[in-house]
Structure 1
Amino acid sequence: MGAAGSKLEKALGDHFPEGERYFGFENFGNTCYCNSVLQVLYFCVPFREKLLEYYEKNKNHTNPEESLLTCLADLFAQISMHKKKTGVIAPRRFVQKVRKENELFRAMPPTSILNFMGIYNHRSSVFVQDAHEFLNFLLNELVDILEKESSAAKDGTENLPKDGTENLPRDGTENGSTNGQANGVHKEPLATWVHENFQGILTNETKCLRCETVTARDETFFDLSLDIEQNSSITSCLKNFSSTETLNAEDKFFCDKCCSLQEAQKRMKIKKPPHILVIHLKRFKYIENLGRYKKLSYRVVFPLELKLTNTVEDADSEYCLFAVVVHVGSGPNHGHYVSLVKSHNHWLFFDDENVEIIDESAVQTYFGSAQEYSSNTEHGYILFYEKITSNANYQIGDL
C-alpha cells in the first residue's frame, strides 16, 4: 500500500492526526470478515486504550500463554507503535489463533455450517464467514480470558497476609478460615473492561391482563439484533424491537399470582444502555418457501446521531455513529466485508489492504436499496455508536 498510503497522507496533509496510524490488513484469502471487525475495534478508542494497557502490563512476562487476547493486544500494539503512519499489516498470528480456537472460522467449515451461515467471497468464490458471528465470538472469548486471569490472580493472592508472610493456619482452622465463604465476603460477578464498554441490560416485562401484575426479567447484551423493513430507520427498528406483544390462545402466560394461564402483554426494553451500542441489522433471512437464505437489501437509514427514547433508565441517552461494517454482495451465497470508520473527525474506508479518506456524506450510500432490485449491493450490516456524555474526557472520532 505504498502508493495508497502516500495518497492518504497527502490527502490529510497537515490534518493527519498526531500519533494516529491508518493501516490496512492483509487478506489471507477469505478473512475480510475479520479485517473489517478488527478495524472497527481498533478505532473504538476506549477499547483500544484498555487493550494497550493490557499489553504494557503483560509484555514482560516470561513465556506468557498465547491466547486470542494476547494476539489481539500484540496486533494493536504493533499498529500503534509503528514508525510509519500508513501501510499494510498482516494479522497472521491472530487469524491463525482464531481458526485454531473455532472451527467456524477455518478455511472451509463442514457443509452443515456452510448451509447455516454461508457467504462466499465475491472476489475468489470461496467461503467467507459472517462478521457478526465473529464479533460475538471475539468479545465473549476476551471476556472468558479476562475472567479466568482475574480468578487465577485472586486464587494466588487472596490467602496471603498483607505483610507477605506465609499463610499459616490460625485458631486451629485450615487456612485461617472459620466458615465456608471466602473471608465471609460475597463475590460479585467480575465486570471486565469489555463489559464496561459494550454491555447493556435489557428487561423483559410481562403484564398479566387479569391481575395486572408485572413480571420483569433482566438479561445482558453486547449487541442488539434488529429485524428490518423496507424504507425504514434505526429508530423505527428500535421501536418495533420494544413494541408490545399480546400473549393469548396457545401462547398464554402462566401468572404466579393467579396460579393459572392468563392473557398477557409482553415487551422488551433497554434498562441500561451500553457505552458502545452495537446494532446488528438482520439482513440474512431464511425464506421457507424458497428453502434458503436471502439477503434483504432494504433501505434502513442509520443517523450519525441517535437518541434512545424507549429505555427504562437514561431516557435521553444520545449516541454518535463512529463505525459501520458493510456487507458487499447481492445475496447470501457470495459477499465481501469492508468498514467505515470515523477517526479525528474524518471518515475512512477500509477494504482489506486499502485505506481511503471519504466524505461524511458517503455514509448514506450504505443505507440500502429503496427498490427490491438494485445495482447497489453495499449495505450497512453492523453499526457502532458511542454514548455521548457531558463529562467524557474524549469522544470517539473527535480525538
Structure 2
Amino acid sequence: MGANVSQLEREIGSDLFPPNEHYFGLVNFGNTCYSNSVLQALYFCKPFREKVLEYKAKNKRPKETLLSCLADLFYSIATQKKKVGSIAPKKFITRLRKEKEEFDNYMQQDAHEFLNFLINHINEIILAERNAGPSNGNTKTTPGGGATSAMASSTASKSSSTSNSNSNSNSTTNSNGNSSNSTGSLNATTSVLDASGSLTATTTPIISGNGTGTNGANSEPTWVHEIFQGILTSETRCLNCETVSSKDENFFDLQVDVDQNTSITHCLRCFSNTETLCSDNKFKCDNCCSYQEAQKRMRVKKLPMILALHLKRFKYMEQFNRHIKVSHRVVFPLELRLFNTSDDAVNPDRLYDLTAVVIHCGSGPNRGHYISIVKSHGLWLLFDDDMVDKIEASTIEDFYGLTSDIHKSSETGYILFYQSRDCT
C-alpha cells in the first residue's frame, strides 16, 4: 500500500476492503454527536441507504428539505474518491436546526429523540411531495415536522435528553404520539452508483403490509413504512366474560425497559408480559357494558424489515428529582429472533442480524457523548464523530453495560438496529 493509505485501510487490508464502500467519519459541530451517531447507523442500514440514494437519483433539483440534505450527504459519502476520511455534514445540520428549534442550540440532545424526529419528518416530506403531484419534488413541508410520532411503546415513557461531552447544559426534548395508517402496495426502486458516480434507478414491485392507524386514514405506505414500520397488537381479555378484544397500532421502533444482567430477548418478553387491569385501572368491556378486571398484553403482529430497539436507559427518579442513567448489563446478540409475536403474526420466524448500535458514553443523561458501531461486509467499525476504527466482534461485549449498580461512567448500547436477513 502507498504512503497515502490510511491506518484503517491498512488494518482492513487491500484485498479485504469492500469494493465501492466508503468509511467516512462526520465532523462534530460542537454538540452534534447525537446526530452523527444516528446518521452512521442509518447509512449502514442497507435498505435505508438505498432508498435515500434513490431519492437523490429521482429528484435532480428538489427544493431543500431535510431529506434532500440527507440525500446529498449520503451521496457525497458514497461517491468519494478516497475510501476512508471525514466529511462535514454542515448543510444537513443547518437544515436540521431550521426545521426544529430544539436542535438549534449548543445544548445536549438525545439520540433517540433525533432518530424519532428524523424518521417521522422524512416520512412527512415524502407524503407532502406525493400529495403535491409529479412536480419534480419541489414541495415544501411544514417546518419542524408537525407529524404525529410513529415511535410507539406499550408503556409510554419520557426520554431524557442527553449527550455531548463538550457541553454542560441540560436540555430535555420528548416526542410521543401515534403512527399514521398505511395500506396498499408500492414499487420499490433500487438505486445504483455507476462507474462515473451517477445514480441510476430500477423499479421492481413489492408487497406492503397493512396496518390500522390512529387517524383513520387509508394511504399508500411510503418507503419509510416499508423499512421501519411494524404492527403491535394489544390483546385484552375480560376476566368476567372472557371476551378478548384486540387493537392494532403501528410502530417505527420498540422502546423496552432494561433490567440488570439480562438480554434483549428477556427485555422483549417483559415488554409482552401479561398485565392485570384492576382497581382504578379496570377495563371497560363492551360485552359486559361495564368496567371489569382484565388481563392485557402487547405482542408483535408484523415484524419490520429493520427492527429498531430503544433501550430506556434514562429513568426519572423522584428521590433525586432528576433523570439518572440505567447502566444495567443487557446482552444484545448478533442474531435475533422475536418470540413475543401474536398467533396471527405475518412473519413470526423472521431472523435478524445486528447491523448498528448507537452507544451512549457517560455517567448520566445530562452530560456524555454518543458513538456508534456498525457492521459492514462482515467488518465491525466504530464511528466516533470524524474518527473511524476497525474493531473485533468481541469488542461489542464492552457495550453491554455494567454488572454493578455503582454510578460510574459507562459505554452502553442505547439504540439497536437489527436488519431482517430476508432483505439482504
Contact 2:401 2:413 in 1 (8 A): yes
Match of 1:96 among 84, 89, 94: 94
Is 1:222 the counterpart of 2:202 in the alignment? Answer: no
Following superposition, the deviation at residue 289 of structure 1 comes to 1.2
Residue segments in structure 2 that go unaligned for 5+ positions in a row:
137-216
Following superposition, the deviation at residue 19 of structure 1 comes to 0.3
- Listed as ranges, the matches of 1:56-205 within 5 Å are 56-59=57-60, 61=61, 64-108=62-106, 127-153=107-133, 188-205=218-235
SS at structure 2 position matched to 1:15 = coil
Following superposition, the deviation at residue 155 of structure 1 comes to 9.7
Contact 2:263 2:332 in 1 (8 A): yes
**Structure 2 match to 1:278:** 308
**Separation of aligned partners in 2, 1:28 and 1:76:** 18
Is 1:320 the counterpart of 2:350 in the alignment? Answer: no
**Structure 1 match to 2:371:** 338
**Structure 1 match to 2:25:** 24
What is the aligned length?
338
Contact 1:32 1:128 in 2 (8 A): no
Moved over 6 A (4+): none
Deviations 1:61-107 (A, max 9, x none): 3xx31100100001000110111111110000000111111112121
Deviations 1:342-361 (A, max 9, x none): 00000000000100000000
Contact 1:273 1:317 in 2 (8 A): yes
**Separation of aligned partners in 2, 1:49 and 1:340:** 20
TM-score normalized by the length of structure 1: 0.82
**Structure 2 match to 1:353:** 386
Q: CA RMSD in A?
A: 1.7
**Structure 2 match to 1:308:** 338
**Structure 1 match to 2:146:** none
**Structure 1 match to 2:281:** 251
Contact 1:205 1:215 in 2 (8 A): yes
As a proportion of its length, which structure holds more helix?
1
**Structure 1 match to 2:49:** 48
Kindly name which structure, 1 or 2, has the bigger radius of gyration based on alpha carbons. 1
**Structure 2 match to 1:11:** 11
Deviations 1:157-192 (A, max 9, x none): xxxxxxxxxxxxxxxxxxxxxxxxxxxxxx841211
Deviations 1:104-135 (A, max 9, x none): 21214xxxxxxxxxxxxxxxxxx320000000
Percentage of identical aligned residues: 57
Contact 2:303 2:348 in 1 (8 A): no
**Separation of aligned partners in 2, 1:368 and 1:376:** 10
**Separation of aligned partners in 1, 2:280 and 2:366:** 37
Contact 1:147 1:190 in 2 (8 A): no
**Separation of aligned partners in 2, 1:8 and 1:73:** 26
SS at structure 2 position matched to 1:319 = strand
**Separation of aligned partners in 2, 1:107 and 1:140:** 21
Deviations 1:305-332 (A, max 9, x none): 1111120213322211010000000111
Is 1:299 the counterpart of 2:279 in the alignment? Answer: no
Contact 1:4 1:355 in 2 (8 A): no
Residue segments in structure 1 that go unaligned for 5+ positions in a row:
109-126, 157-186, 395-399
Following superposition, the deviation at residue 375 of structure 1 comes to 5.1
Following superposition, the deviation at residue 387 of structure 1 comes to 1.2
Amino acid at match of 1:268: M
Is 1:368 the counterpart of 2:401 in the alignment? Answer: yes
Following superposition, the deviation at residue 376 of structure 1 comes to 5.3
**Separation of aligned partners in 2, 1:277 and 1:107:** 31
Contact 2:350 2:420 in 1 (8 A): yes
